[in-house]
Structure 1
Amino acid sequence: MTKQLIGLMILFMMGSGVILHAEDSAGPFVGTLTTTDAHLLYRPGNKAAKLRLTVQDEKGRKVGAVDSTSEAEHDFVAKFHVAGLNPGSTYQYKIETIEDGSAKLVAGGTADYHFTTVPEQRSGQVTNVAFISCVNDTTDPVWEQMGKLNLDLLCFGGDTPYADTGDLADLRNKHRHLLQRPALADLCKSVPLAGTWDDHDFGKNNANGKSAADLKENTRRSFVEYRAQGKFGNGDEGIYQKVDKGAIEVFLLDARWFSQTGPSPVDPNQSTCFGTEQWNWLLESLRASKAPFKVLLQGQIWQDKKNRETDDMYTYYAERDALFDFIKKERIPGVVLVGGDIHVSRYLTHSQRVGYDLQDFIISPGHTSVIPSLDVYHQDLEWSRVEPNQFLTMTADTTKDVPVLTVKFMDGSGQVNLAKTFSHDQLRPNTDGGLAKDLRAYWSFDGDATNHSKLGKRLDGKLEGGASLVNSQGARGGALRLSRADNQYLSVPRAMLDDNANAYTASSWVKAASLPDHGSADRSFILETKVNNHCKLPNALSTGYAVSVGFRECDDPDKINLQLYTQTLVPQPVGSQNAPVTKSQGGFDCLLDRSLFSDWTHVAVTFDSKRLQLFINGALAKTFALPTPGPIAENGGLVIGGHRAGEGRNFDGMIDEVAIWNRPLSATEIEQVYNNGSPLSLSAD
C-alpha cells in the first residue's frame, strides 16, 4: 500500500469520527463507578503525555475535566478519577492530549464513549453483571456476545490474563495485550470493568502468597496499572475490593496475596487464605451491605479441586466455613458464590448452609481449553458443563415487589446453557427454633419414606430389597421393617449434612428381631452415610462414613457392642502448603445389654469435631474423644438399616423416627426427643 493511499485512509477515518491509536495504546477503559465518582484509564502508547479527560452530561454540557499524565513509571498508563457527578446519570467523555496549550482528541468524543453512575435507589433497578475467568485470544467470541447484552458491569475472575511470570515487562505486555483485544476494548469503553486474580495472573500455576512471594511485588504493580479501580486491597497489599451497583454488590476477593503467609484469623493452627485484614474487611462489609444481592467472587473455587493442587477453599476450610457461619449468624440475605479456575462450569446448591440454600457458580473457561478431569464429584453438585468459551450473567431485578436474581450460563455462540432464577425471599434466612433448628433430615415412616425437613424430596428414601413399612407398630406410629436375611434397607440418595460439617446429631428408634450372634464376625448397622456419587463423576471417596452406627458382638455373650465410627479431615499446620487429608476414626465401643434392644430403644449420636457422644434412651451412655479432632470428610447419601454398601451387614427388625441435625443437640434436647416425640412436634420460635 502506498504512503499516499495510507494518508487518504487516515484522513477519511478521521473525518468519519474514528480515532486512530498507536498499536501499543490501550483503552480507554471504564473502571469503578459509584453514585458520584468514575475511574477510567487510558494508555496513549509508549510515550509520556499530558492527558485531559472531559465529561459531558446528556445535554452536552461540560460537567468536569481532570488531567493525568502517562509516565514510564506506570508503563504509560494514565488514570482518571472524576468526582462530583450525579447519581444514576449517563455521561459522555473524551480524552485529549495537552501539548503547548493545545488540545488534541485521541479517544472518545462520540456517543459510544459513555458511562452511567450508580443510582442511589436500590429498588426500581434492573442491573446486568457478567462474570468470566480464564481468558486468552480465543475468548474473542465471548466479548462479542457480551457486547449484545447491555451490561452494567464486567467482572474478571482471574487468569485474566495468563501471565505466569514475575518479570515486570512481561507482565505489562500481557495485561496490555488482553486490553487491546478489539471486542473487549469496544465493550469496556462504556461497561465498567473490575477484577480479581487467580494463580496465573498472580505469577504461576497453583501460586500462593508463600510460594510466589518473590513475584508478588511485580504482579500486583502490573495489575494495579492496568485496572481502573477505586481500591486495591489495603493500598499496599492485596487487591480485594467491592463494587456496589445498587441492586447487586460484588465482593472481589483476593485468595492469593495473603494465602499461606501466616495463621488463619479463625484458627491459629491452620494457614490463612484471606489474611486478617482482608478477613475483617469482608465481614464488616458484608454486615454493612444494603444491596439485595451480594456476590462473593474469587478466582479459585469454594470446594475441593481433587487434584494435586491446593488452590481451593477446601484447603482453607476453616475460613470458608467460618465465613458461611458468619453469614448465617448475622442473618445476611442474598449471598451467592462465584469461582473460576478449573476450566469447567458447574452449579452447586449448598442446602440451608447459611439459613437458606447457598447458590454456588463456577464459571470457566472463557477460552477454548477445557479440563474434563476437574469435573469431579461433589455432594452438592447439580449441573456441570465441560465446554469452551463460557461466561456467566446475573440480572438483579428490583423493580418487582420481591427482588429477583436470574443467573445464566452462556457461551460464545450466545447459547444459554442453564438458567436459574431466585427470589430474594429464597435467599433470606428463615431459621427454625427449638428442635427444628438445623434439622436436615427426618423420616417418620408414617405411611411412606418421605423426608419431612426443609431439604424436601431430594432426601426421600427408597425401600430396597423388599423393605416395607408398618402402620402402627413403631415407636411413634408407623415404622420401617427390615429383614437381614433378605438384605433389606432404605437408601437416601443425597447428602443432608454440610460439606465438611463440624457437627451433627443422628437420632433413631430401633427394635431388633435379632442381633449379631455371640462369637460370630457378623455386624449390623442402624445407619451409615456414604458417597452415593449421584452425578457419576470421578474422584469421589469410596467410603464416606462420617456417620456410622452399628452392632457387633463382644466377649460377653449377654452384651452387644454398639459401635461408632466417623471419617474426618486432618488439618494441615500453618505454612504446610498441603491440603487436608481424610482419616477414619473408631471403632468406639459401648457394651450394652442385648435385652435392651428387644423393645423400642432410642439411640442418638452427637459429633462436634472433638468428640462423639452416645445417648441411650435419653441418657448419656458414653463419650469418645477423637484422637484427631476435625470436621467430617466427604459424604453424599445415607443407608438406613445397613452400611454404606447397602447389602450385607443389614439390620434385622424395625427402625423409626430417624432424624439428622447439622448441630450437636444438647443432653436436654435429646431427652426431649426421647420423651416427647418427633423434632417437628417440638419446634419452637
Structure 2
Amino acid sequence: MDKVTSSTGSFVPSQSTATALPRRQVLRSTGIIAAAATLTGIFSTALPAHGASGHFQHGIASGDPYPESVLLWTRLTPEAVATPGSGLGGDARIRWDVAADSDFRRVVAGGWAQTGAWRDHTLKVVAAGLSPGTTYWYRFKFGQEYSPVGRTSTAPAAGAAVDRLRMGVVSCANYQAGHFAAYRHLADRGDLDLVLHLGDYVYEYAPGEYQARDIVVRPHDPAVEMTTLEHYRRRHAQYKTDPELQALHAAAPFVVTWDDHEFADDAFSGGAANHTEGAEGSWATRSGHARQAYAEWMPVRYETDGQLYRRLEFGSLASLSMLDLRSYRSKQADSQAGPAIDDPDRTMTGTEQIHWLLAGLGNDTQQWKLVGNPVMMTPVRIPSTLNAQELHALGELMGDGNIDGVPYNVDQWDGYVADRNRVLGHLRDNAVTDTVFLTGDIHSGWACDLPADPLTYPLTGRSLGTELVCTSVTSDNMDDILRVPERTASLSVESAIRALNPHIKYLDFDSHGFSVLEVTPAEVRMDWYRLADRTDAASPAQRTASWTVAAGTQKVRRTGEGILG
C-alpha cells in the first residue's frame, strides 16, 4: 500500500457548460474583466496555511470552472454581531481580484461586490472573461484585510485535446464522527484539477444522534437537529471553519452536488425519513431553508430559484453530468414488496432531468461520459445467508432499515428500476461507450460493471457501463456499526455479496478516506485511500486499491499501480 505524500504535476484543465449564475442582487458585481494569459504549470508550489480569523473566518473557495469563467466564494464577518444565521450586521462591499500569479503582480480580473445579512454575509461572484485552460489565484479584501489566497483554474476550450484530468473524490463527511484528515491529504497532493464532492457535505443531526461509534468527536452547532434557516446556515458555517476543508477549498475548484443529509436523512421530493411533518414544520419550508443555505454557503452556480443538476465539459476528453437525486424523486418504497419498485410512474430523477441526462450521454463530443451520482446505480442483490446482525448493519450502511434479506436497497437506483432501465437501455440501444458513474453515499468502496442483465452476467449479455464508489470521509462504516475491528466481520459479507453479484468486482465496507480519479484517453483510474484513524486530525493514509476502466471496454479491472503524482 502507498503512503500519501505531497506531489507536483502538470495541470490539465477542466470545462463546463452549466447555466450561468443569474444576475441578481446576490452578486451586484461591478468591473470589466480582462482576459488572462495562459499559464502552463500548476500546483508546483504549496499554498500558505489557512486559518479562521478576522473578517474571513470561513475561508475562500472556487467552483464550477468554465472555459472563460469560474465562480468565487467567501463569507465575510464585517462586525462581531454578524455571526452566521443571526441575521445581524450591515451590508458590506468586498473587493475581489484574480491574478495570473500568486503574488498578484499580474491582476487580470477584479471588481466590487455587495453582501449582507440578507444572504448571511456570504458572497459569490463569477470571474468572467478569463482564458481557457489557465491557472489563476484569487483573493478578497475588506477594509485593509485580505482573505487567504486561493488557487483555481478555468476549463480548456471547447473541443480542445486534453491529455489528463485528475480529481479528488469525496462523500459523507460527518463533522461529529471525526476530523477531516482526508481533506488535508487531498489538499497536500498538489496535483488535483478539481475536487468532486458527491454529497453529505454537512449532516443535519444534533449531538448524540449520529457520530463515531456513539462517540461525539466534535459536537455539531447548533446543538439541535437543523430544521430552520438559522440552523442550516450555522451548520454550514461550522463545517467551513474546519482548517482541512478550508485548505482543500483553497487548493482547487470544487464541483458539488447534494445528497440527503444536506436536507434530512432519506429525503425525497415531498419529505424525508428524518422529518416529522408538523412537529418540525412543513417539508416545503424546511427543504427551502436547506436549499437557501446551500446556495449561500457552497461554491456552486446554483441559486434557490434554479436547478442544481448541470453538466461540465473538459475539452474533448470528458463531460461530467452532476445529478440531483433528491429534489424530484418519488417517495421510497417501503420494501421490494411495497409499491412496485419498477412502476414507471415512480421516478428517481424527474422527467426533465432524465431527458437531460440521456441527451448528455448520447453526445459524442467528449470521449468519457462521467456522471456525478449521489446514490448507487449498480443493482445489488442481498444474500439470504447473512445473519440478523449482518443484515442490520448492511441496512444501516445502505440507508434501508427494512432490508431484511430483500434483494434491493430502495433508497438507491434499485428502488427506481424504471428510471435505471431507461438509462441503461439508452446506453445499450445507442451503443454508448465509456460511461462511468462516480458515486458516494454508501460509506464503502465499490468497483462494478453495469450489466444489461445482472441475473445472467457475465455468462451472457454485456456490461453497459461502470461505477466507481468512494467511501465516507468520516461517517460510520460496517465495522463501526457492528462494533468490531476493521477488516474482520465485514470480509464474509463482502464475499457473499460478490458471489451473488458477479458484476461487483471490488468491495470494502470498512475504510474511511477518499479517492483520487484520473481520466486519460486510454482509461479511467481510481485509487482508494484509507485513513488510519478518522478521529485523529493527523491521521496518515494509505492507498488500499486501484481499479481501471480501459477505453471501450465498459468493464472494471484491478491494477496494482496507483496514480503517479
- State the TM bucket, normalised to the shorter chain: 0.5 to 0.7
Are residue 408 (structure 1) and residue 527 (structure 2) matched?
A: yes
For 1:22-101, list aligned pairs within 5 A. Answer: 22=54, 25-45=57-77, 46=82, 47=89, 48-58=91-101, 60-97=105-142
Are residue 181 (structure 1) and residue 242 (structure 2) matched?
A: yes
Among 373, 390, 402, the residue aligned to 2:513: 390
Among 163, 170, 174, the residue aligned to 1:136: 174
* SS at structure 1 position matched to 2:526: strand
Q: TM-score, normalised by structure 1?
A: 0.54
Counterpart CA distance in 1 for 2:75 and 2:96 is 13
Whether the 8 Å contact between 1:19 and 1:107 is mirrored in structure 2 is: no
Aligned length: 398
Counterpart CA distance in 1 for 2:50 and 2:478 is 41
Whether the 8 Å contact between 2:71 and 2:300 is mirrored in structure 1 is: yes
Give 1:23 shift.
8.1
* SS at structure 2 position matched to 1:314: helix
Give 1:422 shift.
2.4
Among 208, 222, 226, the residue aligned to 2:297: 226
Among 217, 237, 251, the residue aligned to 2:288: 217
Shift of the 342–267 alpha-carbon distance from structure 1 to 2, 3 Å rule, reads: closer
Correspondence for 1:493:
none
Shift of the 18–231 alpha-carbon distance from structure 1 to 2, 3 Å rule, reads: closer
* SS at structure 2 position matched to 1:26: coil
Whether the 8 Å contact between 2:302 and 2:308 is mirrored in structure 1 is: yes
Give 1:107 shift.
1.0
Whether the 8 Å contact between 1:406 and 1:419 is mirrored in structure 2 is: yes
Task: In structure 1, list runs of 5 or more residues that go unmatched.
Answer: 1-15, 98-102, 429-454, 456-685
* SS at structure 1 position matched to 2:428: helix
Correspondence for 2:7:
none
Whether the 8 Å contact between 1:94 and 1:105 is mirrored in structure 2 is: no
**Aligned-partner residue type, residue 323 of structure 2:** L
Among 395, 410, 414, the residue aligned to 1:314: 414
* SS at structure 1 position matched to 2:369: strand
For 1:588-599, list aligned pairs within 5 A. Answer: none
* SS at structure 1 position matched to 2:261: coil
Correspondence for 1:549:
none
Among 186, 206, 219, the residue aligned to 1:146: 186
Counterpart CA distance in 1 for 2:58 and 2:51 is 13
For 1:423-438, list aligned pairs within 5 A. Answer: 423-427=550-554
Whether the 8 Å contact between 1:122 and 1:291 is mirrored in structure 2 is: no
Shift of the 262–316 alpha-carbon distance from structure 1 to 2, 3 Å rule, reads: closer
Shift of the 352–65 alpha-carbon distance from structure 1 to 2, 3 Å rule, reads: same
Correspondence for 2:202:
161
Correspondence for 2:365:
290
Counterpart CA distance in 1 for 2:49 and 2:245 is 20
> Once the two structures are superposed, what CA deviation does each residue of 1:498-534 show, in whole Å capped at 9, x if it has no partner?
xxxxxxxxxxxxxxxxxxxxxxxxxxxxxxxxxxxxx
For 1:130-529, list aligned pairs within 5 A. Answer: 130-137=168-175, 138-149=178-189, 150-164=191-205, 165-203=226-264, 205-212=265-272, 213-214=283-284, 215-231=286-302, 236=305, 238-246=307-315, 247-260=317-330, 269-288=344-363, 290-302=365-377, 303-304=379-380, 305=398, 307-308=401-402, 310-351=410-451, 356-367=463-474, 369-372=476-479, 377=497, 379=501, 380-398=503-521, 403-412=522-531, 413-427=540-554
* SS at structure 2 position matched to 1:242: strand
Among 141, 165, 168, the residue aligned to 1:127: 165
**Aligned-partner residue type, residue 156 of structure 2:** P
* SS at structure 2 position matched to 1:288: coil
* SS at structure 2 position matched to 1:366: coil
Counterpart CA distance in 1 for 2:401 and 2:465 is 24
Whether the 8 Å contact between 1:134 and 1:343 is mirrored in structure 2 is: yes
**Aligned-partner residue type, residue 367 of structure 1:** T
Counterpart CA distance in 2 for 1:363 and 1:17 is 27
Give 1:87 shift.
0.6
Shift of the 420–261 alpha-carbon distance from structure 1 to 2, 3 Å rule, reads: closer
**Aligned-partner residue type, residue 360 of structure 1:** E
Q: TM-score, normalised by structure 2?
A: 0.64
> Once the two structures are superposed, what CA deviation does each residue of 1:626-645 show, in whole Å capped at 9, x if it has no partner?
xxxxxxxxxxxxxxxxxxxx
Give the stretch that moved more between structures: 272-281 or 297-306.
Answer: 297-306
Give 1:270 shift.
3.0
Shift of the 349–219 alpha-carbon distance from structure 1 to 2, 3 Å rule, reads: same
Task: Please tell me whether Structure 1 or Structure 2 has the larger radius of gyration of its CA atoms.
Answer: 1
Whether the 8 Å contact between 2:332 and 2:411 is mirrored in structure 1 is: no
Identity between Structure 1 and Structure 2 (%): 19
Computed over aligned residues only, the root mean square deviation of the Cα atoms, in angstroms, reads 3.1
Counterpart CA distance in 2 for 1:31 and 1:370 is 29
Correspondence for 1:562:
none
> Once the two structures are superposed, what CA deviation does each residue of 1:25-69 show, in whole Å capped at 9, x if it has no partner?
312101111110010110012343211211122483222113222
Give 1:338 shift.
2.4
Whether the 8 Å contact between 1:49 and 1:69 is mirrored in structure 2 is: yes
Among 132, 149, 154, the residue aligned to 1:117: 154
Whether the 8 Å contact between 2:424 and 2:452 is mirrored in structure 1 is: no
**Aligned-partner residue type, residue 440 of structure 2:** G
* SS at structure 1 position matched to 2:290: helix
Shift of the 17–126 alpha-carbon distance from structure 1 to 2, 3 Å rule, reads: closer
Whether the 8 Å contact between 1:32 and 1:194 is mirrored in structure 2 is: yes
Give 1:156 shift.
1.5
Counterpart CA distance in 1 for 2:124 and 2:306 is 20
Give 1:415 shift.
1.5
* SS at structure 1 position matched to 2:467: strand
Counterpart CA distance in 2 for 1:404 and 1:388 is 25
Counterpart CA distance in 2 for 1:419 and 1:342 is 19
Give 1:382 shift.
1.5
Give 1:245 shift.
3.1
Give 1:139 shift.
4.2
Whether the 8 Å contact between 1:129 and 1:152 is mirrored in structure 2 is: yes
> Once the two structures are superposed, what CA deviation does each residue of 1:98-121 show, in whole Å capped at 9, x if it has no partner?
xxxxx5342145xxx221211125
Counterpart CA distance in 2 for 1:194 and 1:17 is 22
* SS at structure 2 position matched to 1:33: coil
**Aligned-partner residue type, residue 181 of structure 1:** D
Give 1:289 shift.
5.7
Give the stretch that moved more between structures: 302-311 or 249-258.
Answer: 302-311
* SS at structure 2 position matched to 1:300: coil
More strand by share: 1
Whether the 8 Å contact between 1:345 and 1:390 is mirrored in structure 2 is: no
* SS at structure 2 position matched to 1:244: strand
For 1:539-554, list aligned pairs within 5 A. Answer: none
Task: In structure 2, list runs of 5 or more residues that go unmatched.
Answer: 1-47, 83-88, 206-225, 273-282, 334-338, 381-397, 403-408, 454-460, 482-489, 532-539, 557-565
